[in-house]
Structure 1
Amino acid sequence: MHTLTILLLSSLALMAQASHQTVGVRGTFMCGDKPLVDAEVSLWDRDRWPDADDRLSTVHTDKNGHFEIFGTDDEWLSIEPVLKIYHRCNNKGWFNLPGVCKRKNSFEIPTSYINKGQQVGKWYEMGTMNMEAKHKDEDSKCT
């Protein structure tokens, strides 16, 4: 029982030392030579088991395929930011039916873009990316 109390108090002390960390990403997605309009862009903090990943923020690309997203998480270890985009660019077959499936691409954001506090310190600039080609480790999200 004494060991359990020490572990519990140690865990609480570590959580009390958690700090706000913020990351921001911006860029433009294209589908061939056309802007990828209204694609869902989500920023996540990848966590390790048993803690589930945290969705920090979600936006949609504008009429020019541009997006700007940032998110903050309160963690005691460094956050592991991942940008996920869900889209239908170059979807083939029945996967392209409305409401069925979207392509899902994930991009790990370098830790050098994480800022302590609740403001973006340095934006990760993705530039312009053509989402037409299949990417390594691409997945799909079906509803």
Structure 2
Amino acid sequence: MHLSVVVLALLPLAIFGLPSLKIGKLQSAAVKGQLMCNGKPAANVKVKLYDDDRGIDLDDLMDEGLTDSEGRFVLSGHETEITTIDPKLNVYHDCNDEKIPCLKKFSIMIPDSFVSVGDKPDKTFDAGVLNLSGVFSGESRDCLN
């Protein structure tokens, strides 16, 4: 009977892990790009770099920032995982959409070939120049970002 209580008590730790207990290898990724809205630089647009954890585990925020006056951004971060991290760029904007509540959100997955071992990425994924006035695959609304 006592063993089942111990197993039940430790089960959430086995499933969700301890935030301070990092098992796996330290990996990193970086992304850069430029955001435009109707041909003009999209300044002060929120961008975030995540490790996309599929399933019930929450995504790990690796870096975040705002685009500069020219719409440019560079994000870099690291995370410890057993398997290869799945970095993604999230962009939150209101290009052509200022009066509608919440921000438009879309994600771009960063290829595994841009994941490095260690806390400093060896190379940076260039997302290119993105025109926010278009519609992106998987685009949604985000009120919390």
TM-score (norm 2): 0.81
* Structure 2 spans left out of the alignment, 5+ residues: none
Local SS of the residue matching 1:112: helix
Q: State the Cα distance separating 1:65 from its structure 2 match.
A: 0.2
- Find the partner of 2:93 among 87, 90, 95: 87
Local SS of the residue matching 1:128: strand
Match of 2:76 in 1: 70
> d(CA) in 1 for partners of 2:22 and 2:102?
41
> d(CA) in 1 for partners of 2:42 and 2:27?
29
Q: CA offsets per residue over residues 44-101 of structure 1, 9 Å max, x none?
A: 1111333211111101000000000011001111111110000111116x41xxxx31
| RMSD after superposition | 2.2
> d(CA) in 1 for partners of 2:23 and 2:102?
41
> d(CA) in 2 for partners of 1:136 and 1:34?
22
Q: How does 1:77-116 map to 2 (within 5 A)?
A: 77-91=83-97, 94-95=99-100, 100-116=101-117
Displaced runs of 4+ in structure 1, greater than 3 A? none
* Structure 1 spans left out of the alignment, 5+ residues: none
> d(CA) in 2 for partners of 1:39 and 1:16?
32
Q: Identity over aligned residues, as a percent?
A: 32
